[in-house]
């Protein structure tokens, strides 16, 4: 089983709303990732959690707030977003944060539209 | 920045082998070559990865040149469902307590035609 589950699949939110994207994996993976993908562009790394601690923040604006409540869950809290933040948000996970020979598995993504 | 160069697009006839090239001339000895694909509107799908030796699994084969400066992903019998963007990624170890990450380049748009 290599499943990473993301909810919701689609989200429409206003610029003043607060919403969250959720990601779950039950593979015992200790590294979890958020990527952002704009239309016709490759995915871009946003955040990396290693053993439930934030290890990488790729200079992401503070209106995006990640959270890792436990080793199976990863959230991305959204607040005061702009229309240009509309994108596909991808969650991923891998078993050992320190072993680059471990495969990173992706979820199907959450499509976010900011109106 | 991505450390790989791929052709922007390729065509392949259905049932034939698809050979997707990737140049990674600056690769170091401890860096892995990963291949993912992304079918429209879906998350990236892992295909295969390797360090030095050629690799094969149920989806594809990965051929890495002896000097490791380039590789080829081979889909032995392409089908219409293999139409996707294929990403070749060199995964770099991050020292200082952080793990290596996947940094995506632009990839190759493979179109499999009947």
CB contacts of A55 in chain B (<8 Å) are 97-99
Residue to mutate among B3, B5, B100, with most A CBs inside 10 A, is: B100
A64 touches chain B (CB under 8 A): no
Partners of residue A42 in chain B, C-beta under 8 Å:
87, 104-107
Rounded to the nearest 10°, the torsion over CA B102, B103, B105, B110 is: 10
Q: What is the pLDDT of residue A97?
A: 85
Distance between CA atoms of residues B101 and B82, nearest Å: 25
Residue B52: Cβ within 10 Å count: 11
Q: List the one residue out of A111, A67, A71 whose CA is nearest residue A93.
A: A71
Mean pLDDT score across all residues of chain B: 92
d(C-alpha A88, C-alpha A104), whole Å: 18
Confidence grade of residue B3 (pLDDT, cut at 50, 70, 90): confident
Secondary structure of A17-74 in HEC code, one letter for each residue: CEEEEEEEECCCCCEEEEEEECCCCCCEEEEEEECCEEEEECCCCCCEEEEEEECCEE
Query: B23: helix, coil or strand?
Result: strand
CB-based contact, A71 to chain B, within 8 Å: no
Confidence of residue B98 (pLDDT cuts 50, 70, 90): very low
- Predicted confidence (pLDDT) per residue in A15-58, tens digit: 999 999 999 999 999 999 999 999 999 999 999 999 999 998 98
Average pLDDT, chain A: 95
Whether residue A42 and residue B51 make contact (CB cut-off 8 A), yes or no, is: no
A62 min Cα distance to partner chain B (Å): 22
Residue B99 has pLDDT above 80, yes or no: no
Q: Which of A50, A45, A51 is nearest to A64 (CA)?
A: A45
- Kindly state the average pLDDT of the residues B1-26: 93
The confidence score (pLDDT) of residue B2 equals 54
Put simply, whether B59 touches A (Cβ < 8 Å) is no
Report the share of chain A in percent with pLDDT over 90.
Answer: 89
**Is any Cβ of chain B less than 8 angstroms from the Cβ of A50?**
yes
Q: At residue A84, does pLDDT exceed 80?
A: yes
Are B91 and B102 within 8 A, CB to CB? yes
Question: Could you tell me which chain B residue has the CA closest to the CA of A2?
Answer: B46
């Amino acid at each position: 089983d290599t499943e990473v589950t993301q909810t919701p699949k689609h989200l429409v939110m206003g610029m003043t709303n607060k919403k969250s994207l959720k990601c779950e994996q039950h593979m015992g993976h200790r590294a979890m990732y958020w990527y952002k993908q704009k239309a016709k562009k490759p995915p871009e790394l946003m955040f990396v959690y290693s053993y439930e601690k934030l290890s990488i923040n790729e200079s992401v604006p503070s209106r995006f707030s990640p959270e890792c409540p436990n080793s199976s869950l990863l959230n991305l809290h959204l607040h005061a977003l702009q229309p240009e933040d509309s994108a596909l948000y991808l969650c991923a996970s891998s078993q050992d944060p320190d072993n680059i020979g471990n495969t990173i598995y992706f979820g199907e993504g959450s499509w976010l539209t900011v109106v | 920045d991505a450390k790989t160069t791929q052709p922007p697009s390729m065509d392949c006839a259905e049932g034939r082998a698809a050979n997707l090239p990737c140049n990674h001339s600056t690769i170091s000895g401890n860096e892995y070559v990963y291949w993912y694909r992304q079918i429209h509107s879906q998350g990236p799908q892992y295909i295969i990865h390797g360090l030095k030796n050629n690799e094969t699994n149920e989806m594809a084969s990965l051929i890495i040149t002896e000097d490791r400066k380039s590789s080829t992903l081979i889909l032995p019998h392409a089908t219409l469902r293999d139409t996707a963007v294929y990403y070749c990624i060199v995964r770099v170890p991050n020292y200082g307590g952080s793990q290596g990450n996947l940094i995506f380049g632009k990839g190759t748009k493979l179109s499999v035609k009947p």
